[in-house]
Amino acid sequence: MKIGIVGLGLIGGSLALDLRPKGYRILGVSRKEETCRAALHRGIVDDASTNLSLLATADAIFICSPISLIVPIVKELIPHVSADTILTDVGSVKTPIVQEINEIWPNFVGGHPMAGTAESGLDAAISNLFAGRPYVLTPVETTPPEAVKTVEEIARSLGSQIYFCTPEDHDRAVAWISHLPVMVSAGLIASCIGETDGKVVKLAQNLASSGFKDTSRVGGGNPELGVMMARYNRGALLRSLQQYRRTLDKLIADIEREDWDSLEQQLKETQQARPDFLP
Ligand code: NAP
């Protein structure tokens, strides 16, 4: 089977690294010549080009570009492929992508491997990135079952755990566990630097340790990614942020009223709930 990968970065490169040794023939397309050359040189792909026409004979194509380019790339790709070519993507938001692509290419299965690192680009690609991690597929009523089966088999061969859900449920779930944490963590850092006494800020910076490191990590990451999350998952993220604001208001009210029992009750509930969200 020939697998096409568009976007030889962290996710696309890591997919290629894992799939090629399993006997799939990997055709890679990336924006930069040098990335294509490096992918060939490292033996990550069988063939590489900056031209989407390389993928004319691929059986299944994974679009692994930045999220804003997924739909434009599919539009550009369509003239080069035949109707039985299966397209899938790895974008971290599903509803807008699935809606737009379904209208132009029904043989499409939305996907999202829930794995990554803080790095990007082909140099960041690593083997076994997806093993033991969830891989979400979001077929809709009109998605051909054969296409779903093929993408599921490929994703399973990575050692991933497959989850099926609607694009909307996917986006609501990732709003809670991925996109809200970025905004909360960014809000934490913004609040700290909002302290008006410079010497207190300096002292806080010197005293900050593992707790601050954990809670500020995702808020101190790539701003472009945060904006993408907000742009493409706006509705679900806003709902999560509004719920978060209500939770904060309740915490503030408990502390203002010195209602330590209520506060303790809340903290007991969160202590109990946390393990359910961790592997
Ligand atoms: P990345 O490391 O930046 O990789 C994307 C690659 O796409 C770039 O390295 C670039 O390669 C290539 N590219 C850019 N424009 C292109 C174009 N017009 N045509 C072909 N290739 C193009 O980003 P990533 O982290 O792998 O993310 C890719 C996708 O995976 C995103 O949609 C993201 O939502 C999703 N995702 C990310 C993570 C994560 O944690 N990072 C997890 C799950 C899913 P060159 O410029 O070098 O050619």
Domain stop point among 147, 165, 183:
165
Domain stop point among 165, 198, 223:
165
Q: Is 209 exposed, middle or buried (0-12, 13-18, 19+ CB in 10 A)?
A: exposed
Collapsed DSSP state (helix, strand, coil) of residue 48:
strand
How many angstroms separate the Cα of 142 from the Cα of each of 11, 101, 125, 138, 145? 27, 12, 33, 11, 9
179 and 126 share one domain: no
147 and 219 share one domain: no
How many angstroms separate the Cα of 99 from the Cα of each of 106, 114, 135, 167, 230? 10, 21, 20, 9, 18
258 and 221 share one domain: yes
54 and 9 share one domain: yes
Residues 58 and 142: their CA atoms lie apart, in Å, by: 22
Ligand 1 contacts CB of residue 29 (under 6 A):
yes
**pLDDT at residue 279 in the model:** 84
Buried/exposed code over 224-259 (b: 16+ C-beta within 10 A; e: otherwise): ebbebbeebbeebbeebbeebeeeeeeeeebeeeee
Helix (H) or strand (E) holding 87: strand 86-89
Domain count, the chain: 2
**pLDDT at residue 118 in the model:** 81
* Tokens matching residue 224: 């472009």
214 and 94 share one domain: no
**pLDDT at residue 244 in the model:** 98
Ligand 1 contacts CB of residue 120 (under 6 A):
yes
Residues ≥6 apart with Cβ < 8 Å to 249: none
Cβ contact 189:220 at 8 Å: yes
101 and 180 share one domain: no
Ligand 1 contacts CB of residue 32 (under 6 A):
yes
Cβ contact 64:42 at 8 Å: no
18 and 150 share one domain: yes
The whole-number average pLDDT for the span 245-250 is 98
197 and 243 share one domain: yes
Q: What is the CATH number of the domain that holds 80?
A: 3.40.50.720
Please give the distance, rounded to the nearest whole angstrom, from the Cα atom of residue 148 to the centre of ligand 1: 23
Domain stop point among 165, 180, 215:
165
Q: What is the CATH number of the domain that holds 229?
A: 1.10.3660.10
147 and 28 share one domain: yes
87 and 218 share one domain: no
Cβ contact 8:43 at 8 Å: no
**pTM of the predicted protein model:** 0.95
176-229 pLDDT, tens digit each: 999 999 999 999 999 999 999 999 999 999 999 999 999 999 999 889 989 999
Query: Can you give the residue range of the structural domain that contains 127?
Result: 2-165
**pLDDT at residue 76 in the model:** 98
Please give the distance, rounded to the nearest whole angstrom, from the Cα atom of residue 31 to the centre of ligand 1: 10
Q: How many percent of the chain have pLDDT more than 90?
A: 97
33 and 158 share one domain: yes
36 and 98 share one domain: yes
Residues 89 and 98: their CA atoms lie apart, in Å, by: 9
42-91 pLDDT, tens digit each: 999 999 999 999 999 999 999 999 999 999 999 999 999 999 999 999 99
Residue 112 DSSP code: E
Ligand 1 contacts CB of residue 28 (under 6 A):
no
Cβ contact 236:175 at 8 Å: yes
